[in-house]
Amino acid sequence: MTDIRVFDAVPEAGFGDYVQLLKPRVMSLVVFTALVGLLVAPVRLHPVEAFAAILFIALGAGASGALNMWWDADIDAVMKRTKGRPVPSGRVAGAEALGLGLALSGISVVMLGLATNLVAAGLLAFTIFFYAVVYSMGLKRVTPQNIVIGGAAGAFPPMIGWVAATGSVSIEAVLMFAVIFMWTPPHFWALALFMKEDYHTAGVPMLTVTHGRKATRAHVLVYALLLAPVAIWTAATSIGGPFTMAVSVALSVWFAKGGHDIWRRDEAMAEVDKYAVEKAFFRFSLLYLFVIFAAYLIEAALKIYGLGGW
């Protein structure tokens, strides 16, 4: 008598594969920046409300990640770095990623609205729409400025955190948005300079491919310079103070110098030291974002003791 055999020909997804769909590494950044936005706001939420707000903002980001993985499965299947993702590797069906993304989008927006307020929920809905539809479906495959547009989606979380606490958008929220918005392009273009990914086989117009590496280096410098006034202006608002200002100025100078170093080099020089300057700039850019948002948080903590703030 034969019994039923189960073949592994179609790999079945484990729980972790669904977690991978939500892009947990992006989510960790979202949690951090949204938390800072929420904590530096002048209105205090109850800890349970604050926890729920951060959780559902992160879940919304995860939902847009799942929608992105559904839409971009064809690109991901071609590129080396991404072809092990759940959808292109066949562990999770594309329709399932779409379903999960849509369901989590609805849950996160409704729950954020119930936990905090409708403005925050509306902003979260817009962010998901912007990342999944405007960026992933619309502009990513069309323009080499795709990084700039995608950066806008990543810049919303601190603003949503702020709005979750206060109920309205203010200059501080807009400036925190602007800091991440201006930071994203040099961060990713520096990565593109030394990673040399196979974007051209996937048909994604990366700036390094469409306009060349020299133009990319110039773009890194311009955005690194433009970030400086935004960061310093943010430090001059109500969430800043002398401490934040000192940190922002130091980071801005360092970041601009890094951009300048990248701009001065050409590919021959970069090949010699295996892109050491580009890699160092990329690592520093990660540190930059972490330190500047930590500074806003520290300033808010100092204010409790009557030390921080203007």
Q: How far is the CB of 182 from another protein (least distance, A)?
A: 35
**Which is nearer to another protein, 14 or 203 (by Cβ)?**
14
**Which is nearer to another protein, 116 or 252 (by Cβ)?**
116
Q: How far is the CB of 266 from another protein (least distance, A)?
A: 50
- Using CB under 8 A, list all residues that contact another protein: 3, 6, 8, 12-15, 18, 46, 48-49, 51-52, 55, 114-115
Q: How far is the CB of 285 from another protein (least distance, A)?
A: 34
E-strand stretches of 198-276: none
Q: Which two tokens stand for residue 91?
A: 């562990």
**Which is nearer to another protein, 6 or 304 (by Cβ)?**
6
Q: How far apart are CA 271 and CA 276, in angstroms?
A: 9
**Which is nearer to another protein, 6 or 268 (by Cβ)?**
6
Q: How far apart are CA 26 and CA 154, in angstroms?
A: 9
**Which is nearer to another protein, 48 or 268 (by Cβ)?**
48
**Which is nearer to another protein, 93 or 232 (by Cβ)?**
93
The answer to whether 254 touches 261, Cβ cutoff 8 Å, is: no
Handedness of CA 113, 119, 122, 127 (dihedral sign): negative
Q: How far apart are CA 296 and CA 39, in angstroms?
A: 9
The vertex-33 CA angle with 32 and 34, nearest 5°, equals 95
265: left (phi over 0), alpha (psi -120 to 50) or beta: beta
Cα distances (Å, whole numbers) of residue 114 to 53, 91, 108: 9, 34, 10
Q: How far is the CB of 73 from another protein (least distance, A)?
A: 21
Q: How far apart are CA 76 and CA 70, in angstroms?
A: 10
Q: How far is the CB of 228 from another protein (least distance, A)?
A: 41
Q: How far apart are CA 309 and CA 190, in angstroms?
A: 34
Q: How far is the CB of 231 from another protein (least distance, A)?
A: 35
The answer to whether 65 touches 26, Cβ cutoff 8 Å, is: yes
**Which is nearer to another protein, 104 or 245 (by Cβ)?**
104
The answer to whether 249 touches 232, Cβ cutoff 8 Å, is: yes
Q: How far is the CB of 2 from another protein (least distance, A)?
A: 13
